[in-house]
Amino acid sequence: MKVTEVVLRQMKMKMKSPFTTSFGTFQDKEFLLLEARDETGLSGWGESVAFHSPWYNEETLKTNWHMLEDFIIPNLLKKEIEHPDDVSEVLSYIRKNNMAKSTIEGAIWDLYAKQKGIPLAKALGGSANQIEVGISIGIQNTIEDLLRLIEEYVNEGYKRMKVKIKPGWDVEVMREVRKHFPNIPLMADANSAYRLKDISLLKQLDEFNLMMIEQPLASDDIIDHAILQKEINTPICLDESIHSYEDARKAIELGSCKIINIKIGRVGGLTEAKRIHDLCLEHHIPVWCGGMLEAGIGRAHNIALTTLSNFVMPGDTAASSRYWEEDLIDPAVEVENGMITVPEKPGIGYAPNLETIKKFTVYEKTYS
Ligand X SMILES: O=C(O)CCC(=O)c1ccccc1C(=O)O
Alpha carbon 139 to chain centroid distance?
19
- Partner from ligand X, Mg ion, none binding residue 124, C-beta < 5-8 Å depending on class: none
Instruction: Tell me if 190 sits within 8 A of 213, measured CB to CB.
Output: yes
**CA angle, 129 then 131 then 137, to 5°:** 160
Is 214 one of the annotated binding-site residues?
yes
The least CB distance from residue 163 to Mg ion, in Å, is 12
Q: How many residues bind ligand X (CB under 6 A)?
A: 12
Name the residue type at position 213. I
What is the rounded CA–CA span in Å between residue 82 and residue 45? 18
Alpha carbon 140 to chain centroid distance?
22
Is 239 one of the annotated binding-site residues?
yes
Nearer to ligand X, 53 or 341 (CB): 53
> Which of the 8 DSSP states describes residue 56?
S
Query: Which residue from 242, 192, 183 is spatially nearest to 213, judged by alpha carbons?
Result: 192
Query: Which residue from 323, 236, 238, 231 is spatially nearest to 276, judged by alpha carbons?
Result: 238
The least CB distance from residue 357 to Mg ion, in Å, is 27
Binding map of ligand X across residues 179-218, x = CB under 6 A, - = no contact: ----------x-x---------------------------
Residues of this chain that interact with Mg ion (CB under 5 A) are 189, 214, 239
What is the rounded CA–CA span in Å between residue 211 and residue 207? 12
Nearer to ligand X, 88 or 136 (CB): 136
The least CB distance from residue 162 to ligand X, in Å, is 6
Instruction: Tell me if 232 sits within 8 A of 200, measured CB to CB.
Output: no
The residues, ordered by sequence, that sit 6+ positions from 355 with a Cβ below 8 Å of its Cβ are none
Instruction: Tell me if 227 sits within 8 A of 203, measured CB to CB.
Output: no
164 catalytic, yes or no? yes
Q: Where does 75-139 show beta strands of DSSP type E?
A: 130-132, 135-137
345 catalytic, yes or no? no
Candidates 164, 230, 345, 358; catalytic one: 164
Subset of residues 130 to 159 that bind ligand X, contact rule: CB under 6 A: 136
Q: By beta-carbon distance, which residue lies closest to ligand X?
A: 291
Candidates 29, 101, 114, 263; catalytic one: 263
Considering only the stretches 9-17, 217-225, 284-292, 341-349, report the one whose residues sit in contact with ligand X under the rule CB under 6 A: 284-292
Instruction: Tell me if 292 sits within 8 A of 49, measured CB to CB.
Output: yes
Name the residue type at position 175. R
The least CB distance from residue 86 to ligand X, in Å, is 29
Subset of residues 299 to 318 that bind ligand X, contact rule: CB under 6 A: 316, 318
**56 is a contact residue toward ligand X (CB under 6 A):** yes
The least CB distance from residue 170 to ligand X, in Å, is 15
- Partner from ligand X, Mg ion, none binding residue 293, C-beta < 5-8 Å depending on class: ligand X
Subset of residues 84 to 113 that bind ligand X, contact rule: CB under 6 A: none
As annotated, the binding site for Mg(2+) includes 189, 214, 239
Could you list the residues that contact ligand X (CB under 6 A)? 21, 56, 136, 189, 191, 239, 290-293, 316, 318
Give catalytic residues, as residue numbers: 164, 263
